[in-house]
């Protein structure tokens, strides 16, 4: 079976990391008889240089049409301050990601935290608090609506006088001398129900409890969220449901085993919590992420880590987060054997002591510290 995937190589060290992640994906998918063909859909500052837009319309259209995107991170502070200073709307992180999430209705953002015992010493947590393989923390962030899209989505509901009096503006229209500014946050019942059901199904399949994160003690939309979580939970009597306030969930990030389960959280809460959780992995470079539309199957695979611009062109950035995102992608496109093989290969590479610079603590033999390309080759050889 042939599978076309839209490829965004991205900025900074993105292209170096994506080159090795793509090679690993192509090789691993062969185990399931899947032939992956990447089609370039350039986005980010690299695309701006060529097309005058960080989200060129033809790239956007084609990526949406293809429906499966392998997304290297976009963004580079060097351009944010120059071209981005004059044209802030071009800053690619929000421009590209939010447009793709919205257009493709990517409701579910999976951010599984995979704790590798070999990286334990790099974690900011006390060693005895680092979980072993038994602890699973699967964040499923609600990736639409909420504060991220409120003003944009609800703009037309309000007459101009009301918008002015409430300070409802789009980000691009903010001048800075407003007396009041408002970001509208909203959840639609139908969407939250669909999301919760998907999260519960996932928890059920994995035999994990569902931890629903909210701020129901203060906010009405989270009171609503909690009621829906409880109602949908009734459909899954075999999945234990726990409600957790977001502030206390944040404190529990320092004791990961207390957040063992599928963690359901709103868009903004999920953004913040998942980075905090990833810090415990030892390096942000180890985080993987997928965004999925549960109705159409449209999906985007990215890494939580950024573009590592300071390492660009030096063959130093850690590609493992991208490679692990490729495993999520393979599982999604029907190549589960390849997905499993990638995850196992990463584990073996780390077990045998191979490290990119960000994963080295200074105690490793220097000949075990390898670059982006060599790390890709190691993973390939362990496939």
Query: Where along the sequence are the contacts to ligand IPM (CB under 6 A)?
Result: 93-94, 97-98, 271
- Residue showing the smallest CB distance to Mg ion in the complex: 271
Q: Which is nearer to Mg ion, 24 or 283 (CB)?
A: 283
Picking from 127, 171, 131, the residue whose alpha carbon sits closest to that of residue 151 is 171
State the number of CA atoms in the 13 A half-sphere of 326 facing the CB. 32
Non-local (6+) Cβ contacts of 272 within 8 A are: 250
Binds 201: which of Mg ion, ligand IPM, none (CB < 5-8 Å by kind): none
CA 131, 132, 136 angle in degrees (round to 5)? 75
The option from Mg ion, ligand IPM, none interacting with 97 (CB < 5 to 8 A, set by class) reads ligand IPM
φ and ψ at residue 26, rounded to 5 degrees: -60, -45
3-class secondary structure, 355: strand
Question: Smallest distance from the beta carbon of 94 to ligand IPM, in angstroms?
Answer: 5
Q: Applying CB under 5 A, which residues contact Mg ion?
A: 271
Smallest gap, in angstroms, from Cβ of residue 271 to ligand IPM?
A: 4
Three-state DSSP at 5 gives strand
Q: Is 111 helix (H, G, I), strand (E, B) or coil?
A: strand
State the Cα–Cα distance between residues 14 and 285, nearest whole angstrom.
Answer: 12
Tokens at 330, concatenated: 């393979």
| Least gap, CB of 75 to Mg ion (angstroms) | 12
In the complex with ligand IPM, which residue's Cβ is closer, 76 or 271?
271
d(CA 288, CA 274): 10
Instruction: Look up residue 168 and give its DSSP letter.
Output: B
What is the rounded CA–CA span in Å between residue 192 and residue 375?
40
The nearest distance, CB 69 to Mg ion, in angstroms, is 17
Which residues form the catalytic set? 148, 215, 247, 271, 275
Picked from Mg ion, ligand IPM, none, the partner binding residue 214 (CB below 5 to 8 A depending on kind) is none
Neighbouring residues of 28: CB distance < 8 A, sequence distance ≥ 6: 326, 327, 330, 335, 338, 339, 341, 342, 383
Total residue length of the chain: 383
- Shortest separation between residue 275's beta carbon and Mg ion, angstroms: 5
Choose the contact partner of 153 out of Mg ion, ligand IPM, none; CB within 5 to 8 A by kind: none
Q: Are 277 and 253 in contact (CB under 8 A)?
A: yes
Taking CA 173 as the corner, what is the angle to CA 58 and CA 177, rounded to the nearest 5 degrees? 155
Binds 93: which of Mg ion, ligand IPM, none (CB < 5-8 Å by kind): ligand IPM
With CA atoms as reference, report the closest residue to 112 among 346, 293, 304: 304
Write the DSSP symbol of residue 170.
-
Compute CA distances 178 → 32, 174, 360, whole Å. 57, 8, 47
Going by the DSSP 8-state scheme, the letter that residue 126 receives in this structure is -
What does the alpha-carbon distance between residue 196 and residue 191 come to, in Å, rounded to a whole number? Answer: 9
């Amino acid at each position: 079976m042939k599978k076309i995937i839209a490829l965004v190589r991205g900025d900074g060290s993105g292209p170096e990391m994506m080159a090795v992640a793509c090679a690993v994906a192509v090789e691993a998918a062969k185990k399931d008889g899947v032939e992956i063909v990447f089609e370039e859909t350039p986005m980010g500052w690299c695309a701006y240089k060529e097309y005058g837009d960080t989200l060129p319309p033809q790239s956007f259209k084609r990526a949406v049409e293809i429906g499966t995107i392998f997304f290297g991170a976009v963004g580079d502070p060097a351009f944010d301050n120059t071209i981005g200073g004059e044209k802030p709307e071009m800053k690619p992180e929000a421009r590209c990601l939010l447009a793709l999430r919205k257009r493709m209705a990517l409701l579910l953002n999976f951010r599984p935290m995979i704790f590798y015992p070999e990286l334990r010493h790099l974690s900011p947590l006390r060693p005895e608090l680092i979980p072993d393989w038994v602890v699973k923390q699967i964040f499923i962030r609600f990736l639409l609506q909420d504060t991220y899209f409120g003003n944009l989505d609800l703009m037309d509901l309000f007459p101009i006088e009301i918008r002015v009096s409430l300070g409802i503006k789009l980000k691009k229209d903010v001048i800075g001398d407003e007396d009041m500014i408002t970001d509208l946050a909203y959840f639609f019942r139908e969407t939250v129900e669909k999301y919760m059901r998907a999260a519960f199904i996932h928890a059920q399949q994995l035999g994990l409890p569902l931890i629903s994160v909210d701020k129901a003690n203060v906010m009405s939309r989270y009171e609503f969220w909690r009621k829906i979580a409880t109602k949908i939970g009734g459909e899954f009597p075999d999945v234990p449901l726990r409600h957790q306030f977001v502030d206390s969930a944040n404190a529990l990030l320092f004791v990961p085993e207390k957040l063992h389960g599928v963690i359901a959280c709103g868009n903004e809460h999920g953004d913040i919590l998942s980075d905090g959780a990833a810090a415990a992995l030892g390096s942000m470079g180890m985080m993987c992420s997928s965004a999925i539309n549960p109705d159409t199957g449209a999906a985007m695979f990215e890494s939580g880590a950024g573009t590592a611009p300071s390492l660009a062109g030096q063959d130093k950035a850690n590609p493992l987060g991208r490679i692990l995102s490729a495993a999520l992608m393979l599982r999604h496109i029907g190549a589960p054997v390849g997905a499993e093989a990638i995850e196992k290969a990463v584990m073996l590479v780390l077990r045998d002591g191979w490290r990119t610079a960000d994963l080295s603590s200074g105690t490793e033999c220097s000949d075990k510290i390898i670059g982006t390309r060599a790390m890709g080759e190691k993973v390939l050889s362990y496939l």
